[in-house]
C-alpha cells in the first residue's frame, strides 16, 4: 500500500458570491489521521470534496503525494471516499458491494475473480463482516452498512481515505464503538486519512491532528490535547469542549469579573480594558469558606453524576459551571447557598471582540493567600 502526503496551498472556493473556502493552506503527513472539525457551513465538506476531486477550487493547488492532483481526474486520484449515508448498492450483497470497484475496472487492470474474492474476504475480515458476505444492505444494521462502505472504499487500494461524517447517521453507542474500531483499523493500515465531523468528541478521540474550521478558514491546527489545552482564538475556546465564558475587565494586570468582586487572577501587564476569560469547568477549584467575604462566590446548584459533582457558582453575577471529583465533595463538602473561594487553575483571557489574530493571555491564579482580601470594584465599574 502506498502512503502519501496531502498538500493544500491557498485553496479558495466560491459558490456564486459566497466564499465557502477562503485561502486554506494545509499539509497532511503520510499516514496521518486528520479531523476537519467546525460548525455547520464552515466549509469542511467542500474542502474534503476538493481533495477528492469532486469539487474544483477557484484558486490554489492540491498536491497528492507531491503530484498536482488538479490535473488528474477523480478516477485517477486513487481516493477512497465514505459518505455519511451508506450509499451501498441495495441490489448487491455485501460481497458484491465490496468487489464492485475492482469488477468495473477496465479488463487489463482488473484482477481475476479469484484475486477479487481473496481481496474482498481479506477486507471483510478486517472490518469484521466475514459472516455477512451474502447479506443484502437491507439486512444490515447501520454500523454494519458503514463498515461495508469502508471495506468497499478500501478495496481499490486507495492512496488516501476521505470520510464525510462517516458515523453521522448512527446512534451514540454505535458511533462510539465504530470510532474506536476505525482508530484501530487506521493503526493497522496507516493510510493517510481525513474525516469530516462536527462532533468534537469524535475528533478529540480519533484524530492525530484536528483542523478547526470557521467560515471557510482554518482557525487552528494541532494535536487534540494541544487545541483543547491551548485554544488559539475565542472561537476555538468556545467551540471545543465545555467552557465558561466570563466577561471581565483588566486593570493594572488584575482580572476582575465585570460585576465586581475580588480579582479572579492576573495577566501579564500590557492590556487594560474589557476582556473575556475562558475557563474549563474542571479548571476551577472551590474552597468552602465559613464566613463568606463580600465579593466571593456562592454555590447555587449541586448535582452528583457518578464520579463527578457539577456545581453552579455565582461569582459577582457571573455564573460559573464547575466540575469536581466526587471525592473532593466528600473531603470538603459544598452546600447550596454557602460561600466559596474560587481559584482558577488554568484560563485564557482574550481582549473583548478579539479576532483570530489576538494572542491569548494566560491567566495566573489569584495568589492572595489565606482569607482573600476583597478589593472594591475596580475603577470604572459600579
Minimum distance between the CB of residue 55 and ligand ATP, rounded to whole angstroms?
A: 8
Give Cβ neighbours of residue 338 (< 8 Å, ≥ 6 apart). Answer: 288, 289, 292, 298, 299
Minimum distance between the CB of residue 182 and ligand ATP, rounded to whole angstroms?
A: 19
Whichever of 42 and 244 has its CB closer to ligand ATP, that residue is 42
Query: For residues 258 and 246, what is the distance between their CA atoms, to the nearest angstrom?
Result: 8
Minimum distance between the CB of residue 20 and ligand ATP, rounded to whole angstroms?
A: 4
Give Cβ neighbours of residue 200 (< 8 Å, ≥ 6 apart). Answer: 37, 239, 240, 241
Query: For residues 191 and 203, what is the distance between their CA atoms, to the nearest angstrom?
Result: 17
Minimum distance between the CB of residue 213 and ligand ATP, rounded to whole angstroms?
A: 6
Instruction: Give me the sign of the Cα torsion angle 312, 313, 318, 322.
Output: negative
Query: For residues 342 and 259, what is the distance between their CA atoms, to the nearest angstrom?
Result: 15
Nearest by Cα to 254 from 237, 233, 238, 275: 275
According to DSSP, the residues that pair with 160 across neighbouring strands are: 79, 192
Whichever of 88 and 212 has its CB closer to ligand ATP, that residue is 212
Whichever of 19 and 29 has its CB closer to ligand ATP, that residue is 19
Whichever of 195 and 350 has its CB closer to ligand ATP, that residue is 195
Query: For residues 245 and 349, what is the distance between their CA atoms, to the nearest angstrom?
Result: 10
Nearest by Cα to 219 from 207, 230, 233, 208: 233
3-state secondary structure of 262: strand
Minimum distance between the CB of residue 16 and ligand ATP, rounded to whole angstroms?
A: 7
Whichever of 194 and 196 has its CB closer to ligand ATP, that residue is 196
3-state secondary structure of 80: strand
Whichever of 64 and 211 has its CB closer to ligand ATP, that residue is 211
Minimum distance between the CB of residue 237 and ligand ATP, rounded to whole angstroms?
A: 19
Whichever of 46 and 97 has its CB closer to ligand ATP, that residue is 46
Minimum distance between the CB of residue 34 and ligand ATP, rounded to whole angstroms?
A: 15
Query: For residues 36 and 48, what is the distance between their CA atoms, to the nearest angstrom?
Result: 8
Minimum distance between the CB of residue 108 and ligand ATP, rounded to whole angstroms?
A: 36
Task: Please report which helix (H) or strand (E) contains residue 311, including its range.
Answer: strand 308-315
Whichever of 49 and 186 has its CB closer to ligand ATP, that residue is 49
Q: Residues interacting with ligand ATP, by CB under 6 A?
A: 15, 18, 20, 38, 40-46, 196, 198
Task: Determine how β-strand 79-82 pairs with β-strand 160-164.
Answer: parallel
CB atoms within 10 A of CB 302: 18
Q: Is 194 exposed, middle or buried (0-12, 13-18, 19+ CB in 10 A)?
A: buried
Asked if 299 and 345 touch (Cβ cutoff 8 Å), the reply is no
Whichever of 58 and 115 has its CB closer to ligand ATP, that residue is 58
Minimum distance between the CB of residue 259 and ligand ATP, rounded to whole angstroms?
A: 37
Amino acid at each position: 500500500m502506498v502512503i502519501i502526503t496531502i498538500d493544500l496551498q491557498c485553496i479558495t472556493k466560491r459558490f456564486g458570491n459566497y466564499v465557502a473556502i477562503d485561502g486554506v493552506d494545509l499539509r497532511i503527513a503520510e499516514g496521518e489521521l486528520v479531523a476537519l472539525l467546525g460548525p455547520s457551513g464552515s466549509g469542511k465538506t467542500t474542502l474534503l470534496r476538493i481533495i477528492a476531486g469532486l469539487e474544483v477550487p477557484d484558486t490554489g493547488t492540491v498536491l497528492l503525494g507531491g503530484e498536482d492532483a488538479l490535473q488528474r481526474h477523480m478516477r485517477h486520484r486513487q481516493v477512497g471516499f465514505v459518505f455519511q449515508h451508506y450509499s451501498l448498492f441495495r441490489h448487491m450483497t455485501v460481497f458484491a458491494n465490496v468487489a464492485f470497484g475492482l469488477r468495473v475496472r477496465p479488463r487489463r487492470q482488473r484482477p481475476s475473480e479469484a484475486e477479487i474474492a481473496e481481496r474482498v474476504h481479506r477486507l471483510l475480515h478486517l472490518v469484521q463482516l466475514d459472516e455477512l458476505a451474502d447479506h443484502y444492505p437491507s439486512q444490515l444494521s447501520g454500523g454494519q452498512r458503514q463498515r461495508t462502505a469502508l471495506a468497499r472504499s478500501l478495496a481499490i487500494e486507495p492512496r488516501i481515505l476521505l470520510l464525510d461524517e462517516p458515523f453521522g447517521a448512527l446512534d451514540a453507542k454505535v458511533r462510539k464503538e465504530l470510532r474506536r474500531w476505525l482508530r484501530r483499523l487506521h493503526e493497522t493500515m496507516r493510510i493517510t486519512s481525513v474525516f469530516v465531523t462536527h462532533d468534537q468528541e469524535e475528533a478529540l478521540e480519533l484524530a492525530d491532528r484536528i483542523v478547526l474550521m470557521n467560515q471557510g478558514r482554518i482557525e487552528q491546527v494541532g494535536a487534540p490535547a494541544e487545541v483543547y489545552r491551548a485554544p488559539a482564538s475565542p472561537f476555538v475556546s468556545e467551540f471545543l469542549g465545555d467552557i465558561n465564558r466570563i466577561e471581565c475587565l483588566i486593570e493594572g494586570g488584575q482580572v476582575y469579573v465585570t460585576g465586581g468582586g475580588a480579582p479572579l487572577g492576573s495577566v501579564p501587564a500590557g492590556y487594560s480594558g474589557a476582556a473575556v476569560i475562558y475557563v474549563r469547568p474542571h479548571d476551577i477549584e472551590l474552597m468552602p469558606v465559613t464566613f463568606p467575604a463580600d465579593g466571593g462566590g456562592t454555590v447555587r446548584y449541586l448535582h452528583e453524576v457518578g464520579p463527578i459533582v457539577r456545581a453552579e457558582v455565582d461569582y459577582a453575577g457571573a455564573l460559573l459551571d464547575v466540575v469536581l471529583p466526587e471525592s473532593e465533595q466528600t473531603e470538603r463538602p459544598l452546600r447550596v447557598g454557602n460561600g466559596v473561594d474560587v481559584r482558577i487553575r488554568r484560563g485564557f483571557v482574550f481582549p473583548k471582540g478579539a479576532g483570530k489574530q489576538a494572542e491569548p493571555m494566560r491567566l495566573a491564579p489569584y495568589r492572595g493567600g489565606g482569607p482573600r482580601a476583597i478589593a472594591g470594584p475596580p475603577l470604572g465599574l459600579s
